[in-house]
Amino acid sequence: IVSMNHAVNDGSVYLLSSLFPVVISLFGLSVLQVGILVGLGYLVSVIFQPVVGRYSEGRDPKKVLALGIAIISVAIASFVLATDFLTLLGSALLLRVGSSFFHPVGVSAVSKEYRGARLGHAMGFQSAFGNLGILLVFVSSAPLYLLLGWKATFLAFALVGVVDVAATLLVFGTSRWNGRHGGGNKGTDIPARAHQGRLGIPFFFVTTTFISGGSYSVILNFMNILLKEQNHLDVFRANVVVSAWIASAFFGAISTGRWSRALRPILLLSLVYFATAASIFAFTFLSASLPLVIAALLVNGFAISATYPLTYTELSRYLGLDATTRGRSFGTIFSAQTVGGSVLGLASGYLSDTFGLPFAFASLGVLAFLASGLTLSWERSAMSGGKKDYQVRPPLRGA
């Protein structure tokens, strides 16, 4: 049920993004206005995710998750009333209010349920279903729009949300989640408290999730526009290419738990950030060749999706026995992701209008390289002096 909620949540969030080439022509928007839609939407999530994280602690997760999906369904239905940029913006902001519920609640629930190697696998599995939801939206939205039109397309996706609310309330086993974990995660990890920032968790988590969340957002929201401009693809073909990227992200996320058996998760995290950066530069500067662009996107999707479960696993190990702050801790890093989406979404819209989309994408590559370096620095700091003993213990290899 948690994975299903993730699929519906993330797919709904990017429904409008999958139709941005249509939105630009239908409503006469500029790329900068698209950036505003993206950036302000993420800003709403920044505000609401920590609030939801605190609110959810000690409450029935199925009711909180169902409330979020219900708000999403109302927001999607409201798009049928959109007539201009401002009405689109209003619906997009309401959609982001609803989407603020899943990540601090659903991922926190998973972190309480699993530990050791199973934790990495579970984080990868639920993360992959978020990508699956986005993939299904990108594959289906353009054909539905061409077949049924604007209003029917959004009403159809709103109905999916209603079905998900009913399934969550009827199937989600409250006793399984709340009863079993009343005492928190008694896993193998010792909670460390070194290097904490003012937000209650180390700034390493905040900075890297800012970069990964922003990069994912910009690629997902602007890539079909880039493909239309540089490779002259229509919205359907552009969405097929982006869907291939999402499919690669799905397999990258779901296989992450197995990777960590061979490499320490934190070292693996640095490597996937490096691959993310290299692939961004590749599809930006090799844009004249569509096959090379697609190949680079496949590598990018596989790598960037792995940053999420690896980071969630590392944070779960960091928190260790301390279950009292899980909701707010996960709420904090998801807020960092959405701040990244907001800031980099707005910045990419401005940079695209001023210098062109390739410049905006190249800037992402620089940030991803920075994240790779920060991850290596975090590992060295954690391994030295015994300040974070849990990172040098066998569980880091997926035990």
Q: Model confidence over 174-205: pLDDT tens digits? A: 444 444 443 344 434 444 444 455 556 788 88
Q: What pLDDT was estimated at residue 53?
A: 72
Strand, helix or coil at 191?
coil
Q: How far apart are CA 352 and CA 135, in angstroms?
A: 25
Tens of pLDDT, residue by residue over 271-280, are: 999 999 999 9
pLDDT of amino acid 367: 95
**What integer pLDDT is reported at residue 123 of this predicted model?**
66
pLDDT band at 79 (very low <50, low <70, confident <90, very high): very high
**Which tokens is 234 given?**
């229509």
pLDDT, average across residues 22-31 = 89
Which one of 117-126, 248-257, 344-353 scores highest in mean pLDDT?
344-353
Return the percentage of the chain with pLDDT > 70, whole number.
78
**Architecture in CATH for domain 2-397:** Up-down Bundle (1.20)
List alpha helices for the chain, DSSP H. 2-13, 15-18, 20-27, 31-56, 61-78, 85-99, 102, 108-113, 116-148, 150-171, 174, 180, 203-231, 235-254, 256-259, 265-285, 290-319, 326-355, 357-383
Q: Dihedral angle at the C-alpha atoms of 323, 200, 60, 95, nearest 10 degrees?
A: -150
pLDDT tens column, 204-223: 888 999 999 899 889 988 99
Mean confidence (pLDDT) of the chain: 80
- On the question of pLDDT at 229 being above 90, the answer is no
More confident residue, 151 or 181: 151
The stretch 237-256 carries a mean pLDDT of 86
More confident of the two residues 316 and 43: 43
Alpha-carbon distance 122 to 108, whole Å?
Answer: 12
Query: What DSSP letter does each residue of 229-276 carry, written as one string?
Result: HHH---HHHHHHHHHHHHHHHHHHHHTHHHHTTTS-HHHHHHHHHHHH
What does the pLDDT read at residue 337?
A: 84
Q: What is the mean pLDDT of residues 80-109?
A: 87
* Separation of alpha carbons 102 and 100, rounded Å: 6
For residue 265, name the pLDDT band (cuts at 50, 70, 90): confident
Residues 35-52 have a mean pLDDT of 85
59-73, 188-202, 291-305, 322-336: which is most confident: 291-305
Of 341, 347, 304, 354, give the one whose Cα is nearest residue 92: 341
Nearest to 45, CA basis, from 26, 66, 18, 72: 72
pLDDT higher than threshold 70 for residue 365: yes
Could you identify the residue written with the tokens 């039109």?
A: 149
More confident site: 286 or 163: 163
Using 50, 70 and 90 to split pLDDT, how confident is the model at 91?
A: very high
Quick check: pTM over 0.75? Answer: no
Mean of the pLDDT values across residues 368-373?
Answer: 94
Backbone CA torsion sign across 124, 204, 367, 96 = positive
Question: At residue 84, does pLDDT exceed 80?
Answer: yes
End-to-end CA distance of the chain: 26
CA atoms of 237 and 235, how far apart (whole Å): 6
Task: Identify the band that residue 107 occupies on the pLDDT scale cut at 50, 70 and 90.
Answer: low
Question: What pLDDT score was predicted for residue 326?
Answer: 64
Q: Output the pLDDT for position 399.
A: 31
